[in-house]
Structure 1
């Protein structure tokens, strides 16, 4: 989101310092001696505040295109963090606005995905009704770079202590719906209580051998 500022020759007493605090990088353009003639440079909002305060002996800074905070999209990672925070607070009202109407949510311990916002909220209602409020999600790591796809590793904690067999890895895809980023797809993979170890490799090898010998079995997958 780009905003252009101009310089006018108003007295220093008219200096306007009531700028909105916001985070995106913006562009300032000027052709006065306050900065280099005809230069354009990118600066962040904390620098703007400092620049305005330090320019009390210079012309007034006039915002020709004020920022619209409502138009600034929330980051995908922030939406996902709010999703977990809402579950931890048992606040499904706040979670509802983060989920798209046609969202598809897969928890891999269930045979079928939950399709649609209402079905997903009903699942989480059963989840929070089944566990104590002392059991909370704790995010270990979350991706920040992509604006539409977010990976999260997490675990559960009981009164601040790690709960056994509770590690998980989740993936979320988000889209902008009516000017707001919402989750349109989610998948959870949770640590199993029984860990087969190398036995799992033996089972995979056996299934692969059967498929090679009897290709028609693939129709049953």
Structure 2
């Protein structure tokens, strides 16, 4: 058996094909028709092999082009179907739901026994029902143009705590005295991370300055002199505040309301007299104008 080395151009990279053929006489010793037929067969074979190589190269090139697209699609799918949100991501989604007034979606981030301590209110909100009522009133009070602008979100030492500082904006303009900070504690419900406890502190519009230090010094000196009373007071501060509010409402109802009612009643008589006098003056002026 003999092997002829045939080199084909137009393929990349350039390759050499070895074809096994039968032993035939030299082309010069054959008649013209045989030589032409052999050349024609060789050209057909060369053309078919080239076409096969081109088809294979196109398939490889198409596969190489298709692979990054499939890889990117798989990457996008894995991102959207990734692990559950972290604590910091939950905080961001929490404020997005408030800004967009998506209360139903917001409820998915609130636990059944959620505890929200909003320091502007005398008592915390306990339970999902009270908490959602508070956020419902909050979103209504914000109107259509007020939004939370979350500046930073901070991760806690563990995976179930986070904090955020923010301010309120009206059409992307910061509203004065609306800076605040929120500290969150989370719990796991299945694969989700939901809010179990939060403390919200907002900037006070009153800036007492040095008076705060003076008041702090006075309070601490009293605590130092009466430590037992101070501990009792600190443990029951919410109860004492509730009693103060009750006493205030009772005193307002019993003393201040009657006083205000009597005060307005007294001033009602001079007001009536002045109105009658004014009517008399108007009547006299009309009578004189007729004459």
Structure with bigger helix share is 2
Farther-moved stretch of structure 1 (14-23 vs 170-179):
14-23
Residue 116 (structure 2) pairs with residue 105 (structure 1):
yes
Contact 2:116 2:124 in 1 (8 A): yes
Contact 2:155 2:161 in 1 (8 A): no
Deviation digits for residues 30-52 of structure 1, max 9, x if unmatched? Answer: xxxxxxxxxxxxxxxxxxxxxxx
The Cα of 1:216 is off from its aligned counterpart by 3.4
Deviation digits for residues 46-87 of structure 1, max 9, x if unmatched? Answer: xxxxxxxxxxxxxxxxxxxxx797571212111111110110
TM-score, reference length from structure 2: 0.53
Which runs of 5 or more structure 2 residues have no equivalent in the other structure?
1-58, 235-291
Q: Which has the higher contact order (CA 8 A, sep 6+)?
A: 1
Secondary structure of the equivalent of 2:168? strand
The Cα of 1:144 is off from its aligned counterpart by 4.3
User: What residue number does 1:81 align with?
Assistant: 92
Deviation digits for residues 80-137 of structure 1, max 9, x if unmatched? Answer: 1111011011111110001111111110111221112221110011112223221110
Residue 198 (structure 2) pairs with residue 186 (structure 1):
yes
Match of 2:75 among 9, 15, 21: 21
1:151-190 aligned at under 5 Å gives the runs 151-190=163-202
Root-mean-square deviation (CA, aligned residues, Å) is 2.4
Contact 1:173 1:186 in 2 (8 A): yes
The Cα of 1:188 is off from its aligned counterpart by 0.5
Contact 1:88 1:133 in 2 (8 A): no
State the distance in 2 between where 1:178 and 1:77 align: 18
- Alpha carbons of structure 1 residues 96 and 211: separation in structure 2 relative to 1, 3 Å: same
Structure with bigger strand share is 1
- Alpha carbons of structure 1 residues 148 and 194: separation in structure 2 relative to 1, 3 Å: same
The Cα of 1:214 is off from its aligned counterpart by 2.1
- Alpha carbons of structure 1 residues 174 and 81: separation in structure 2 relative to 1, 3 Å: same
The Cα of 1:164 is off from its aligned counterpart by 0.7
